[in-house]
Structure 1
């Protein structure tokens, strides 16, 4: 029986593929204040701006490819039962070949109804005013904006509670509730923390190996260490 590897990924792994993030840019995302393009208030204030912003992100996503970090995580499915829990809204994990991917903050290539949060459909082109659900309600990006609930959180916790290994890759561990997921790993779970600027994790009960590298280099190092456990 394969051991279970749970991987929590953040903006750092996508940034290596050229996906622009706001992690280190003072709250700006592609020149926009995140409060204008990633909150319900921003949507209510200027939905045209929000629609255009995510249309541009969708176009940008078509121009990038998975990097070595994504590819190695997918390859690890040969030896481990791998579950990816990602804060990223891109599809780079899936394109790399990972088969168990849970998106905490939504997906750029999906949209949902403003009236029915369970009405979610694939959407790869521009989203415009007049794009409706079957009841004539406007569609919006399927993104969990700041201030909104994280529907996938309970599933993420359930997955983490049975992890043999837990890897935290390219996330600042500053965005909650996602950052709190690591607290649900069993005490015996070996933790790997990959980030070029790692922070001290308070009240950590797990054995931890800190790998102060960018995601692609760090995942390569982690793979070799994981294989030594087999």
Structure 2
């Protein structure tokens, strides 16, 4: 803990790599844990796939509307402390999360690696649509096209801009902190392969993670860790 505090104090450019565990304390379930979104579901990957969106758009919409949106969720200690650090340091957050809570907490440089539920658009005319409108209907009243959230579904590629921005941030960081993720989902978990080899790396997670290079593991609840930073 003291090492992490010292590293943050000394660092010039910090990258936080965040996963589902960061948003669980805000009431948003993760995906694969015992009480996660996928628990008890027969084919959750299909429900969040490009195929489902294309073949059964109403089924896709119903699943996303009922299971993915938590508009009343508020940033927790992890989000707010990262935002505070970003006011004093050059901080980039690269997140797997699609809930917009890092932005809601006030961090300016956020790369939504898998997109955001709060950016929606019409697939027919490409017009941007608010999430509030999408939650009322998945049909765009102007052109009758199907609206979708701008998130990366199964069978879809990560946006090139997200990859390029992430790689640039990773290469220039002198401190990388992995938080609330098992760090096993590719290509997100491969980003640190492109780090500056002199960068310090810490991981904060309830379960230990394993990396093929030297790093400091803080096996603890991230909310407690960031409350003390």
What interval of TM-score do these two structures reach, taking the shorter chain for normalisation?
0.7 to 0.9
Please give the root-mean-square deviation of Cα atoms over the aligned residues, in Å: 2.5
| Aligned counterpart, 1:49 | 59
Quote the offset at 1:51 in angstroms: 0.8
| Aligned counterpart, 1:139 | 147
List aligned pairs for 1:1-230, cutoff 5 A: 3-25=12-34, 29=38, 32=41, 33-57=43-67, 60-115=69-124, 120-125=128-133, 126=135, 128-131=137-140, 136-151=144-159, 152-202=162-212, 204=213, 207-220=214-227, 223=229
CA distance in 2, matches of 1:104, 1:171: 14
Quote the offset at 1:92 in angstroms: 1.0
Given that residues 9 and 84 in structure 1 are in contact (C-alpha distance below 8 angstroms), is that contact kept between their aligned partners in structure 2?
yes
SS in 1 for 2:226: helix
Per the normalisation by structure 2, the TM-score is: 0.84
SS in 2 for 1:62: coil
SS in 1 for 2:157: coil
Given that residues 98 and 114 in structure 2 are in contact (C-alpha distance below 8 angstroms), is that contact kept between their aligned partners in structure 1?
yes
Say how many residue pairs are matched: 216
Quote the offset at 1:220 in angstroms: 3.9
Quote the offset at 1:31 in angstroms: 5.1
Q: What are the Cα deviations for residues 30-64 of structure 1, in whole angstroms up to 9, with x where unaligned?
A: 75432222111222332212112222246x52222
CA distance in 2, matches of 1:123, 1:168: 29
Quote the offset at 1:174 in angstroms: 1.4
Given that residues 97 and 112 in structure 2 are in contact (C-alpha distance below 8 angstroms), is that contact kept between their aligned partners in structure 1?
yes
CA distance in 1, matches of 2:124, 2:176: 37
CA distance in 2, matches of 1:19, 1:166: 24
Quote the offset at 1:130 in angstroms: 2.3
Question: Unpaired segments of 5 or more residues in structure 1?
Answer: 224-230
Quote the offset at 1:208 in angstroms: 1.6
Quote the offset at 1:165 in angstroms: 0.6
Q: What are the Cα deviations for residues 105-132 of structure 1, in whole angstroms up to 9, with x where unaligned?
A: 111112123357x754432341524226
Question: Unpaired segments of 5 or more residues in structure 2?
Answer: 1-9
